[in-house]
Chain A
Amino acid sequence: MNIYLDLFLTFAKVGVCTFGGGYAMLPILQREVVEKKGWATDEELTDYFAVGQCTPGIIAVNTATFIGYKHKGVPGGVLTTLGVVFPSLVIITAIAAFLSNFADIPVVQHALAGINAAVVALIAASVLKLGRSTLKNGAAIAIFLCVLALAAAGSLANFGTGTLGQVLDLLTSPAVLIVLAGAAGFLLYGRKKGGAGK
């Protein structure tokens, strides 16, 4: 198959299999892009999510652009991105035109509750797979635990609207955590001779 067509269709498949936010596409990306096509590694996926997390735009779109560009330059980046949004265009347009009460249909709500339970398990399995390649030494595990604790606190706790609350809100926001982790990486490995050994 023509590689450009393949890029478009593969990402259209990723789009149609994703339910929820950008993270829900991770298990599908691992299967389609890492295992089947070999267009990226697990490590590269975490890189793209990290960059996507602190650059403008939603993560799902940013990740698609990244993989397409890496593989086939600008046309690749454009095609994967168009691919990942294509199913939404078709499905949402059809639903908005013909089924405006779609989300209120009981069977849809029950099916979605089932899907969400499966997505939780899929993301958990994906994180375990990623961890095998990204958490190889003590420093990496320390960064992982710090960021996990701060991010979880940020999404669960309500820090209030005072000055301290605002500082805590900022400190636990994903973009700031990514920047801090990058700085930690630089301090830990950047100045050692020979860089970070693998």
Chain B
Amino acid sequence: MIEPLRLSFEIGCSPEHAFTVWTTRTAAWWPKGHSASGDPKTEVVLEPRLDGRIYERTSDGTEIDWGRITGWNPPHALSYRWHIGRDAATATDVELTFVDAGDGTTRLEIVHSGWEALGDGALAYREANTNGWSTLIPTFTAAAEAPRF
């Protein structure tokens, strides 16, 4: 088994707000270039419910699936299958847990696993995702902490 990618970081807002920003305002904080199409005007859509789709809608209206929600427990936990830019058969698993860290802050714990689905490219893809998360986390944190967002 390939070791899951584990990330843990704090956000200066409540778990409720962090969960809401992650799931219902995805388009506002998702990094612009981070898409399957590369279209700068593509729009990220997350259907905030169990079995909801996560996809992008490009400027010409094409929808490209990125994943599907497999666990929905607001505001505590969210999980989804994830295959951005790839065939759904090579999906990996993302689990997010929003923990109350006191003083109105939240610790977000992310476990990204299932790399075996990528076969020979698994380790390289895991490494690429390490970089992907490190660009995602600051933009999410900034959005979640923004006043009146």
Q: Do A and B come from one complex?
A: no
| B residues whose Cβ falls under 8 Å from a Cβ of A | none
